[in-house]
Amino acid sequence: MIRKWLEATSILASAPNGILYVGVTSDLVRRVHEHRAGVVDGFIKKYGIKRLVYFEQYEDIQTAIQREHNMKHWPRKWKVRLILAENPEWTDLYETIA
């Protein structure tokens, strides 16, 4: 069961095998909605990154932040491998959590 209010680390993509963005939030549904609506300026808006392709939920924000930090330093191929293991079709997972 997905608990929407828990902290999460996520990977968003512009398209299958597209530009990737790793982020962290205390409210995954709200944050992805903001990105999809284009209300957050920056990298995601500039590159049209709206597809939630992977996420992990945590009980505390510190663990989520540490995971985000680690993932941001991974090579792209590691992130792609993680996505493919859980979501091989690069399906937008937003509808499964909203």
**CATH value at residue 33:** 3.40.1440
Is 40 inside a domain boundary? yes
- What is the pLDDT confidence band of residue 3, given thresholds at 50, 70 and 90? low
- If one counts the domains in the chain, the total is 1
Which amino acid is residue 22, in one-letter code?
Answer: V
Would you say residue 1 lies in a domain?
no
State the residue range of the domain holding 72.
Answer: 7-96
- In tens, the pLDDT along 20-35 reads 999 999 999 999 999 9
Domain-embedded: residue 29 = yes
Per-residue pLDDT band at 95 (split at 50, 70, 90):
very high
Q: Which of 8, 10, 1, 5 is nearest to 82 (CA)?
A: 10
Model's pTM, two decimal places? 0.93
Average pLDDT over residues 92-97: 94
